[in-house]
Structures are given as structure tokens and as C-alpha cells.
Amino acid sequence: MPVFLSHRTATDESIGADLLVVPIAESAHGVPARLARLGKGVADAVARALDLGDFEREVGSVVTLRVCRIERYPRILLLRLGSGEEPESVGVRRAFAKASKDPLFRRIDSVAVWAEPSLGSGAALAENVAAAIDGLLEGTYRWTAATTKKESPAGRYLFLADGARSLARVDEGIAHGRALGDSVLLAREIANTPANRMGPAEMAERAKEIAAEAGLACRVLAGTRLARERMEAIRTVGAGSARDPRLIVLEYDPGVDLEPIVLVGKGLVYDTGGLSLKPTSSMVGMKFDKCGGSVVLAVLRAAATLDLPLPLVGIVPAVENSVSGTSYRPGDVIGSRSGQTIDVQNTDAEGRLVLADAIDYGIDKYSPRALIDIATLTGAAYYALGDRACAVLGTDDGVVERLREAGERSGERVWPLPLWAGYRKDVDSPVADVRNTGPWGAGTITGAAFLQRFTRDVPWAHLDIASVSYDRRETKNGATGFGVRLLVEALRRWPKRRGRGR
């Protein structure tokens, strides 16, 4: 685990690092202020590189200088920060993430970052330092649990600033960036773990470890407990697998007298499609079908680490959708915890089934002020928005709008789709209360329309992250953790008023 420290810029001549990162805003002209304090050679080398004009304006562009005679910093990296539509801190995160994917960051031990004034001052400095750390953790992360050759990326990061007040801002940024960035990596690490190494039981064990470390309450329902809770939808989806389902419940209680917000995450440890079997090419990424669940576990951890002032409950149905003689079938009619019967048209529309029971449980046990679910629910989300945003739908405009705004601020963007009455009728069934597929088209919407039937009168929003939860070009470290930054940002600013919804 790398360490992040603040350090006074010019006071200690003995301080140095294998690499000095000098962030430069897109609009900036010339050498960042006060850089000459590191020695005239540094400022001259940077000025020369900028004059030569080969430093691109695109976010994350770099120029590496190797300057002999500057022993404290043998390498200097000019790093272009983003700008344009997105908030400054999102550009900072993207720039640091992109630059730190370079193999250079695995060869060196220490990095210094010219934080002040290049990353701003005051509150912006804290926010941008946090974003830089979040980006550095993202860029240097590798899923190495299953490799025998271990790598060790740079282990020491120094953020350089000047006065005591700036150093305090940097320290604030370090604490926040670390808590957030580590939570994103936690979500990615769980999601990247293949199904043979993580079944429902292992996912529940992982949740217990997280709870113990972060000081959360944790309960796991299995076997007869699930039966006694009448979780027929969860049990039916899990019935085709030799590995029985679990319902993971995490509680974060900061000791304030408010109804909780309930977060529900889809935890399909693997989705073969069941008897409505997926073709091989669509099945290969299906260890990532637990991304929503891994995000919920990570958000609960982040909330506890950051001391967010509102109570939260995280619920994750951890289930395997597999094929055997005990699998459920297309054409079956099954029950659910809510009492509603479900006409199963397609066993590959399993996520909405397990979520239906988890949502019903969350509402029944916690009477939440709002419920948000996050799920890799439909491939159709990819056709709608590609991997630049996830879809949001819900019954409460306030909750939907909060998520959209948090998406803009966090850079994990969210875009609304409608849930009009016509769509809600599309999941009517002639033989049961509801069916688990709609007619052809609008798959992301009919998925949400199904879930809506289980939300009673609780303000609810659904995030379909199927298109953003993993990188299809990079299946090894592929999970993105999309949703952690988004939900933490939304929850940080959630009003502390009593009552439901906004």
C-alpha cells in the first residue's frame, strides 16, 4: 500500500523523489509559479520543454524530462490537466490516472507532486489533491491476486505545498482521496475476482471482513433464513447452482436520528443466463455481474471511513445463475417475498428477480427515506449510452436529480430514461402479477419497470451500470468500480432533514 504525505516545498533541501510531477492546466502558459525554488535548472528545463511546443493540450498528456545536474529530481513529468465540460477535479483525476498507467510508475519508488499552486489553493487544493490520489490509485492498480509474479508500483508520494494552511488543505485532500480511492479499488478487487474464487459464500465472507475493518454491522442470511423470509425469487434463481445464495446486509449507523437510505446492489457472482443460456461470447464477462453489489459494499465502507452523517443500509443478494436439473425454467411462475407472482419468460433476466426480493426486504425492515439500487441489469444500456454514462430511472424526481447532479460532479455520469405508464404496463402478464421481460425494445426501461413493482411508495431510483461497470477492452483489471464515487458524492450532499425522498 503506497503512502501519501504532504511536504513543505522548499525548506528541506534533502527531500527529493525519483520523479517530480508538475501538473499544468490546459489554459496555462509558461512555468508554474515558484517552481524555481527547486533550483533554477528545474524551471529552465520546464520552460524549454513548453517552448518546444510538443506538450499536447489533451487531458493526461505528458512530457518526460530527464535533466542531468538536477539530482533531487532526476525525472520531471509535465502533466496536462483536463478542462472543458467536466469539473476541474475530474480532469485532475483523469490526468493522474492516465499518466500513472505508464510502466515508469512500476520502476520507481517515490513520486513528488508540485501541488501548490498547480492544483489550486484553499478548498480547491484539498479537492484536487484528493482527485490526484484517487487517480493515482486507479492508474497503478492491477488485479494481481492470481499472478505468481508480484509487481510493486511506486510506494511513496509527496505533495508539495508552502504555508501551514496549504499543508493542512493537502492533508485534508490526502485523507479524503485515500478513503475514496481505496474504496473504488475495493469494489474493483471484488468484482475482478473470478467466479471460481468467489461464490455467494465467499462474497459474504468478504463483506464480513469489510464490516469488521470499517466498524459496520453485518448480517448474512442463507438457507432456512432465506426460506423463512419467503425470498422465493432469490432462492429460485440460485437453485440451479451447487453454491447456495446469500443475502448480505451491512448497516452504517452514525448515531443520528434519521431513517436510513437503503442501497441495494446486484451480486450475481456469475450469470450463465440459466436455461436461457448465453452464447460463449456474452458469457465471458459475467463474473462482473456482481459489480453493483461490490459497489454497495465499497460505498458502505467509504461512508464509515469518511464519517458521513447519515445512516445507510447496504443489501446485496449474492447468487449464482447456473445450469442444472434443478434450474428454474422459462415458463415457470414463481413467488416473491412481496407476495406478487412472477411469470418467468427468460431465466437470463435474473437480476431483476433477486433485486425484487432484496428491495422488498429493505423496505419492509427499514422503512427507508429513499432506496437506490445499482445493477448490471441490461445489455440494452450499452446501446442507449455506451460507456460514457449509466442510466437512471425512478419514481422520485428529486432522487433522480440528486444522482444526476452527483454524476456531473464526480465524473461518473448518469442520464435519465423515462418510466411512463405505457412502459410500466409492458411487464403485465396474462398468467401472473408481473413478467420478467418486456416486449422487444426499451430493455433498460422494462427492466426498471419490473423493479418498480416492488418499491411500494418509497422514493426510489435505479442505476443500470451494465455498460460502465467493466472495460470490455481490458478484461483483466476490467472492473471500473463505477458508482462508488457517484454514490459517495450524492450521499455527502444528501440533506439531513427528516422525511422521505429529498
Span from 24-32, 114-122, 224-232, 347-355 in contact with ligand BES (CB under 6 A): 347-355
Least distance in angstroms from the C-beta of 353 to ligand BES: 10
Query: What is the distance between the alpha carbons of residues 34 and 117, in angstroms, rounded to a whole number?
Result: 8
Q: Which residues pair with 160 in a beta bridge?
A: 7, 114
* 330 lines the binding site for ligand BES (CB under 6 A): no
Which partner in ligand BES, Mn ion, Zn ion, none is near 371 (CB below 5 to 8 A by kind)? none
Q: What Å distances lie between residue 1 and 24, 155, 478, CA to CA?
A: 27, 7, 20
Query: What is the distance between the alpha carbons of residues 67 and 46, in angstroms, rounded to a whole number?
Result: 10
3-state secondary structure of 254: coil
Which partner in ligand BES, Mn ion, Zn ion, none is near 416 (CB below 5 to 8 A by kind)? none
Least distance in angstroms from the C-beta of 286 to Zn ion: 7
Nearest to 211 by CA among 253, 255, 250, 263: 250
CB-nearer residue toward Zn ion: 187 or 377: 377
**Residue numbers at the binding site for Zn ion (CB under 5 A):** 268, 271, 289, 351
Q: Are 223 and 338 in contact (CB under 8 A)?
A: no
* 320 lines the binding site for Mn ion (CB under 5 A): no
Q: Which residues pair with 415 in a beta bridge?
A: 391
Interface residue with Mn ion, options 348, 357, 373, 412 (CB under 5 A)? 348
Q: Is 313 left (phi over 0), alpha (psi -120 to 50) or beta?
A: beta
Residue number with the smallest Cβ distance to Zn ion? 271
Query: What is the distance between the alpha carbons of residues 287 and 268, in angstroms, rounded to a whole number?
Result: 8
Helix axes 200-214, 164-192, angle to 10 degrees: 160
Least distance in angstroms from the C-beta of 28 to ligand BES: 40
Interface residue with ligand BES, options 173, 293, 443, 459 (CB under 6 A)? 443
Query: What is the distance between the alpha carbons of residues 232 and 228, in angstroms, rounded to a whole number?
Result: 10
The torsion defined by the Cα of 353, 357, 358 and 360, in degrees rounded to 10, comes to 130
Residue number with the smallest Cβ distance to ligand BES? 379
The residues near 98 (Cβ < 8 Å, ≥ 6 apart) are: 59, 60, 135, 139
The torsion defined by the Cα of 227, 232, 233 and 234, in degrees rounded to 10, comes to 10
Exactly one of 8, 101, 106, 278 is catalytic; which is it? 278
Least distance in angstroms from the C-beta of 351 to ligand BES: 4
Residue ranges in 272-311 that form contacts with ligand BES under rule CB under 6 A: 289
Kindly report the number of other CB atoms within 10 A of residue 465's CB atom. Answer: 27
The residues near 330 (Cβ < 8 Å, ≥ 6 apart) are: 275, 276, 344, 345, 346, 347
Interface residue with ligand BES, options 346, 429, 475, 477 (CB under 6 A)? 346
* 379 lines the binding site for ligand BES (CB under 6 A): yes
* 376 lines the binding site for ligand BES (CB under 6 A): yes
Query: What is the distance between the alpha carbons of residues 131 and 129, in angstroms, rounded to a whole number?
Result: 5
Residue ranges in 50-109 that form contacts with ligand BES under rule CB under 6 A: none
CB-nearer residue toward ligand BES: 78 or 468: 468
Exactly one of 93, 188, 352, 435 is catalytic; which is it? 352
Cell numbers describing residue 361: 426486504
The residues near 242 (Cβ < 8 Å, ≥ 6 apart) are: 322, 324
Query: What is the distance between the alpha carbons of residues 476 and 469, in angstroms, rounded to a whole number?
Result: 13
Given the C-alpha cell 437470463, which residue does it identify?
348
Interface residue with ligand BES, options 116, 343, 348, 396 (CB under 6 A)? 348
Least distance in angstroms from the C-beta of 381 to ligand BES: 8
Least distance in angstroms from the C-beta of 270 to Zn ion: 9
Question: Interior CA angle at 323 toward 322 and 328, to 5°?
Answer: 90
Per the annotation, the verdict on 149 as an active-site residue is no
Which partner in ligand BES, Mn ion, Zn ion, none is near 294 (CB below 5 to 8 A by kind)? none
CB-nearer residue toward ligand BES: 183 or 276: 276
* 271 lines the binding site for Mn ion (CB under 5 A): yes
CB-nearer residue toward Mn ion: 348 or 373: 348
Least distance in angstroms from the C-beta of 486 to Zn ion: 20
Least distance in angstroms from the C-beta of 382 to ligand BES: 7
Which partner in ligand BES, Zn ion, Mn ion, none is near 346 (CB below 5 to 8 A by kind)? ligand BES
3-state secondary structure of 256: coil
CB-nearer residue toward ligand BES: 140 or 272: 272
* 489 lines the binding site for Mn ion (CB under 5 A): no
**Number of residues near ligand BES (by CB under 6 A):** 14
Query: What is the distance between the alpha carbons of residues 190 and 297, in angstroms, rounded to a whole number?
Result: 9
* 351 lines the binding site for ligand BES (CB under 6 A): yes
Residue ranges in 183-242 that form contacts with Mn ion under rule CB under 5 A: none
Least distance in angstroms from the C-beta of 487 to ligand BES: 19
Per the annotation, the verdict on 496 as an active-site residue is no
The residues near 131 (Cβ < 8 Å, ≥ 6 apart) are: 89, 90, 92, 93, 96, 177
* Residue ranges in contact with ligand BES by CB under 6 A: 271, 289, 346, 348-351, 376, 378-380, 437, 443, 466
* Residue ranges in contact with Mn ion by CB under 5 A: 271, 348, 350
Residues with a catalytic annotation lie at 278, 352
